Amino acid sequence: ESRIEPGGNLRASWEALLKGARKCTRCDLYKHATQTVFGEGPLNASIMFVGEQPGDQEDLAGRPFVGPAGLLFDAALEKAGIDRSTTYVTNAVKHFKFVPRGKKRIHSKPGAGEIEACRWWIEHERELIRPPVTVALGATAAHSLFGKTMAIGKNRGVPLQLADGSECWITVHPSFLLRIPEEDRRREERALFVRDLKRIKDRA
Ligand code: URA
């Protein structure tokens, strides 16, 4: 068992990693973002959730999934019976990528180069935390974790294996659920997301 309880060396290593991430210049996104949004949660978490990148509110708050997608995520976790505070939540890309439009900052999808540059951080987070179960929220997270494009529809709802042998699940991104215009379909898709989370909970 290589996972160490928080309070030992593990915490110091994670804090050193965080300190480095705050000064990251591995890609250009740091130039316009407010700050690095690193992962958070107990270092002995048995589930690691991986999102895409911080959004506008996360960029300002410095914490992952605290904006509209985060609220939906929290509600779905609650429905599935997962206590977020027992999980580690992070993103594939740790700086907000956006295009300014008037006073607004419009989310822009990270490219393969940015995902690749930022893999350095998530791989080190994973090395320290060693979660038995990892969850890719959407295609960017899946790309980062598997190192290649993974179709969501074909791969969701079943346990997959990462290169380190640990279990990984792919499901949709909460933002996708926010964008579905049609109410019935939105309700259906949210229920499928909760179903995925329940299955994941039973494995962790
Ligand atoms: N979307 C993400 O992928 N991550 C966040 O932290 C917020 C929104």
> What are the structural domain ranges in the chain?
9-203
Nearest by Cα to 152 from 176, 128, 129, 132: 176
Pocket test for ligand 1, best of 34, 36, 71, 91 (most atoms within 8 A of CB): 91
Cβ of 59 less than 6 Å from ligand 1? no
Overall average pLDDT of the 123-144 stretch: 97
Q: Are strands 133-137 and 98-101 parallel, antiparallel or unpaired?
A: unpaired
Distance between CA 73 and CA 177 in Å, rounded?
10
Task: Provide the 3-class DSSP secondary structure of residue 80.
Answer: helix
Is the whole model's pTM more than 0.90, yes or no? Answer: yes
**Cβ of 65 less than 6 Å from ligand 1:** yes
Mean pLDDT, residues 27-48 taken together: 98
Which helix H or strand E contains 52, and what residues bound it? none
Q: Which atom of ligand 1 is nearest to the CA of 51?
A: 3
**pLDDT average, residue stretch 114-140:** 97
Q: Could you read off the pLDDT of 86-126 as tens digits, one per residue?
A: 999 999 999 999 999 999 999 999 999 999 999 999 999 99
Q: Which fold does the domain 9-203 belong to in CATH? A: Uracil-DNA Glycosylase, subunit E (3.40.470)
Residue 1 pLDDT grade (very low, low, confident, very high; cuts 50, 70, 90): very low
